[in-house]
Structure 1
Amino acid sequence: MKTPIVSAPLLAAFLAMALTACGDRDEQEVRQWMKEVDATTRVSVKPLPEPKTFVPFAYASAGAADPFNPNKLLTGRDIARPGGGKAPDTSRRKEFLEGFPLDTMRMVGMLKKGRTVFALLQIDRAVYQVQAGQHLGQNYGLVTSVTEASVNVKETVQDASGEWVERIATLELQESKENTR
C-alpha cells in the first residue's frame, strides 16, 4: 500500500487558507456590536433608601424600684409568710392529666354531649376528653371553662417569695396541618 505524499506547496496553500479564516474580521464585528449595545443601553440603578434615624429612648427610672436590687427579694420574704396565699389542696388524689405539663397538651377539637362541653386534648398520640372542673397540668391546674376555640386553665404556683399565686393559662384550638381536598 502506497501512502500519498503531500507536496509542500499544497500544504503551504492549505495553511494559508486556514489562517485567513481565523482573521481579524469576526473580532471586529463583535467589537462593533458591543459598542452599539453599550451606546444604546441605559443603566438604571435605584437609589438606596435613606437610613432610618435612630431616636434614643430616655429611660426615666428616678422613682421606680431597681429590678436588680437583691433586697427586693429579701423584703418579699420578710413580709410574706412562705406558703401563704391560696395554697392548693395537696391532700386530694391527683387526676391522670396532672402528670403532664401544659406545654405538651394541644387542643384538637371540641365535643358536646347533651349540655356538657368537652375539649379534646392531644398528648403525644392519645386524645383525652376534658370538661370544666377537671384538673390537669403539673401546676395544680383547674379547667375553668371550655369553648369551641380554647380551654381556660387556672394554675396555682409559688412565686419567688413563696406566696401561692394564681395564673391563667389558655390552650387554644390547633388547626390541622393536613391538607384537605
Structure 2
Amino acid sequence: MTRTTLALIATGALLAGCGEQQGDELQQWMAQQRATTVAKIEVVPEPKKYAPQAYSEENASDPFSRDKLTQALRREAGQATSNTTLVAPELARRKEPLESVPLDNMAMVGSLLQQGRPVALIKVDNLLYQVRTGQYLGQNYGRITKVGEAEVVLREIVQDPSGDWVERAATLQLQERAK
C-alpha cells in the first residue's frame, strides 16, 4: 500500500472514533435535560354552569312579528319620502356647461367684481369661465352659494348609500400658480 492510502485510512479511523464519543456526550446531555425538566401544566378553570331562563313576557308583543316589521317599514318609507321632497336635484332644469365637468378637473384662478357683484374665474382645459352665485358647477348638482376672493362655496346634492338625497358642502380653493 502506498503512503497516501495509509494516511487516508488512519484519518478515517480517527474521525470515526471522535464521532462516536461526541454522539455519546450528546445522548448523555439530552437524557440529563429530560430528567431535570419539569412540565408546567396550568389548570383550566371549570366552566360556569348555564342556568336557562324562562320567557316570562307571554303578553308582550313578539319581536319577530310580521306586523311589527311591516309597521316599521311603513314608518321608514314615510320618512324617506318626506326627506326626498325636502332635498332633491332639479332634474327638469337645463344644465349649464360646467355641470358636465367634475370639480377635480376645475381650478379657481382668480376673482373680480363686475357691477359690484363678485365673479370667480374658473379654469377648465385651458379655458377660462366666469361664474357667479346661483350658477351650477360639477356633476353633483352643485350650486354656487358664495364667491369669495380665495374660494367658491358650493352646495351639492348627492345620494347616500340608502338612496336618499342629501346636501353636502364643497369648495374650490384659489390655486397658486406654480413657477
Which interval holds the TM-score relative to the shorter structure?
0.5 to 0.7
1: CA distance, partners of 2:137 / 2:148: 17
Aligned to 1:90: 91
- C-alpha separation between the residues in 2 aligned to 1:138 and 1:79? 29
Question: Unpaired segments of 5 or more residues in structure 2?
Answer: 1-71
Cα distance in 2, alignment partners of residues 95 and 114 from structure 1: 22
Task: Tell me how large the CA RMSD over aligned residues is.
Answer: 2.2
Q: 1:2-39 CA distances to partner (integer Å, 9 max, x unpaired)?
A: xxxxxxxxxxxxxxxxxxxxxxxxxxxxxxxxxxxxxx
Deviation of residue 114 (structure 1)? 2.0
Q: Secondary structure at the match of 2:118?
A: strand
TM-score (normalizing by structure 2)? 0.54
2:148 counterpart residue number: 147
Matched with 1:126 is 127
**TM-score, normalising length: structure 1:** 0.53
Question: How many Å separate the matches in 2 of 1:123 and 1:111?
Answer: 18
Q: Which has the higher contact order (CA 8 A, sep 6+)?
A: 1
TM-fit CA distance, 1:79: 2.2
Structure 1 stretches lacking a partner, 5+ long:
1-74
Aligned-residue offset at 1:109: 0.4
Displacement of 1:103: 0.8
Matches within 5 A, 1:23-102: 79-80=76-77, 81=80, 84=84, 85-102=86-103
Aligned to 1:109: 110
Distance 1:87 1:114 in 2: 32
Could you tell me how far apart the structure 1 residues matched to 2:172 and 2:76 are? 35
The residue type equivalent to 2:164 in the other structure is: E
Shift of 1:88: 1.0
Deviations 1:135-180 (A, max 9, x none): 11100000000000000010000100111100000100000112xx
Equivalenced residues, count: 104
**Cα distance between partner residues in 1 of 2:76 and 2:150:** 41
| Cα-to-partner distance string for 1:71-101 (whole Å, 9 max, x where unaligned) | xxxx99x825378241111001001110101
Identity %: 50
Three-state SS of the structure 1 residue aligned to 2:99 is helix
